[in-house]
């Protein structure tokens, strides 16, 4: 049995990558637990592995005392000296034990504990090995898929790609080689779990880091990314070198750099814009390719919202198909964006101007010395006239 056990240790270390000492510790703990459980013993039991013989030895420990009160835990000095004249009071002596039927009972109980320890050791090893790849790109092989996940083989482990991390326009077939972003390395009741994604915004960031050396070395910096995977992504970049154009650097000569990223993402459109510290300029850039006339911000200190004015013929372009352009621009900048056509804003300004004129008229009437009731009557009459004029203008 010793030879078979040593061979099993070698196989587990080779196939599972679990060191022999980890397996030995698991078995030792299992045998101690099995002995205490099946023989109702609370004695000091230890198990040691004999590397030379490849066997485990089950032993109980007894303390040398003058007078024995519990013979399961203690041994008299007289009996200890009979074993070895060198023993003294307080010494611990180990006695090898081999209870009847212990081998069969212990094997059944120990197997469960051993497997638990092995799963835990394997889980910890996987987490330790793959945690360094978290938030990094890695290449894997599609193994299979079901209604919830695509299972991707990465090295010796199987990662999962949930449905919301799968590109809507991609079909994953067994043996397909795909690049994914490792988004989470952890564990659950079933063991270690690695989650990967092809829809995460950081995947686009990592792809550009690979394609654009200036991003990798920090000369050009990606400030923010807004992505609707499989369709369109907006990226805001800035240069830390005044002599380098960040957008042109990311696009590359004849668009080769950005095209490589587009190809990896199965044709996903990518808009690259300049980041600006001035929010007005940044929002205008984010709405590219639409032309922006002006940007007005909310007076509320705790509300990041902006009114963006665009030419009438650019309204649809600014909003985008199903609102996608303005939606991505809002995510990119962190502002809630309301887009209005130029004609609508001019009409609003005209009404505001008329209202200001009526207010000035009321103020002059207040200064004329009329009484309070006459002032209220004049204000109401002015508002009615203004509403009539607006109605006529609209017609």
pLDDT digits (tens, 9 = 90+) for 273-293: 999 999 999 999 999 999 999
**Tokens 């394609």, residue located:** 211
d(CA 194, CA 191): 10
Cβ atoms of 229 and 207 closer than 8 Å:
no
194 three-state secondary structure:
strand
| Ranges 45-49, 153-157, 241-245, 349-353, most confident | 241-245
Q: What is the pLDDT of residue 160?
A: 96
What's 274's DSSP letter?
E
The residues near 211 (Cβ < 8 Å, ≥ 6 apart) are 252, 257, 258, 260, 261
pLDDT tens for residues 229-265? Answer: 999 999 999 999 999 999 999 999 999 999 999 999 9
Residue 187 structure tokens: 């564990």
The residues near 249 (Cβ < 8 Å, ≥ 6 apart) are 212, 214, 219, 220, 239, 257
Which of 75, 48, 78, 46 lies closest to 62, judged by CA? 75
d(CA 156, CA 15): 9
Q: What is the pLDDT of residue 265?
A: 95
Distance set, CA 217 to CA 213, 214, 225, 253, 299 (Å): 6, 5, 19, 19, 40
Which of 174, 31, 51, 166 lies closest to 111, judged by CA? 31
Give φ, ψ of 283 to 5 degrees. -65, -40
pLDDT > 70? residue 359: no
Over the range 81-92, which residues count as b (16 or more CB within 10 Å of their CB) and which as e? eeeeeebeeeee
Neighbours of 295 (CB within 10 A): 19
Task: Identify the helix (H) or strand (E) that includes residue 51.
Answer: none
pLDDT > 90? residue 335: yes
Q: What is the pLDDT of residue 2?
A: 60
Of the pLDDT bands very low, low, confident and very high (cuts 50, 70, 90), residue 384 is very low
Alpha helices in the chain (DSSP H): 2-16, 20-38, 77-83, 102-130, 201-211, 213-216, 246-251, 256-264, 279-286, 315-319, 324-333, 342-367, 372-394
Looking at every residue in the chain, the average pLDDT score rounds to 83
Which of 269, 136, 149 lies closest to 206, judged by CA? 136
Taking the whole predicted model, whether its pTM rises above 0.95 is answered as: no
Neighbours of 216 (CB within 10 A): 13
Over the range 377-395, which residues count as b (16 or more CB within 10 Å of their CB) and which as e? ebbeebeeeeeeeeeeeee
pLDDT tens for residues 293-316? Answer: 999 998 776 779 999 999 999 999
């Amino acid at each position: 049995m010793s030879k078979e056990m040593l061979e099993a240790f070698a196989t587990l270390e080779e196939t599972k990558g679990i060191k022999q000492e980890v397996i030995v510790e698991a078995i030792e703990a299992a045998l101690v637990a099995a002995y205490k459980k099946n023989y109702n013993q609370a004695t000091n039991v230890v198990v040691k592995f004999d590397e030379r013989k490849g066997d485990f030895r089950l032993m109980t420990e007894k303390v040398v005392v003058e007078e024995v009160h519990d013979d399961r835990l203690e041994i008299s000095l007289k009996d200890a000296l009979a074993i070895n004249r060198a023993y003294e009071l307080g010494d611990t002596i180990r006695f090898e034990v081999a209870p009847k039927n212990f081998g069969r009972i212990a094997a059944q109980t120990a197997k469960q504990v051993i497997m638990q320890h092995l799963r835990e050791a394997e889980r910890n090893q996987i987490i330790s090995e793959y945690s360094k790849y978290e938030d990094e790109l890695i290449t894997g092989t599609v193994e299979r898929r079901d209604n919830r996940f695509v299972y991707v083989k990465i090295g010796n482990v199987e990662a999962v790609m949930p449905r919301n991390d799968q590109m809507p326009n991609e079909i994953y077939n067994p043996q397909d080689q795909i690049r994914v972003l490792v988004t989470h390395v952890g564990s659950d009741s079933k063991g270690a779990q690695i989650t990967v994604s092809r829809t995460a915004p950081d995947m686009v960031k990592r792809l550009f880091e690979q394609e654009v050396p200036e991003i990798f070395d920090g000369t050009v910096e990606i400030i923010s990314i807004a992505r609707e995977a499989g369709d369109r992504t907006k990226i805001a970049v800035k240069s830390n070198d005044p002599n380098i154009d960040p957008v042109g650097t990311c696009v590359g000569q004849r668009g080769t750099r950005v095209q490589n990223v587009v190809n990896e993402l199965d044709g996903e459109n990518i808009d690259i814009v300049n980041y600006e510290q001035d929010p007005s300029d940044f929002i205008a850039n984010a709405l590219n390719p639409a032309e922006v006339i002006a940007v007005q911000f909310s007076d509320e200190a705790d509300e990041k919202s902006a009114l963006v004015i665009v030419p009438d013929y650019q309204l649809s372009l600014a909003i985008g198909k199903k609102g996608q352009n303005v939606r991505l621009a809002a995510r990119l900048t962190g502002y809630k964006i309301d887009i209005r056509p130029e004609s609508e804003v001019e009409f609003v300004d005209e009404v505001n101007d008329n209202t200001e004129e009526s207010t000035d008229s009321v103020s002059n009437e207040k200064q004329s010395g009329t009484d309070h009731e006459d002032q209220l009557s004049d204000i109401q009459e002015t508002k009615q006239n203004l509403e009539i004029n607006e109605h006529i203008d609209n017609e």
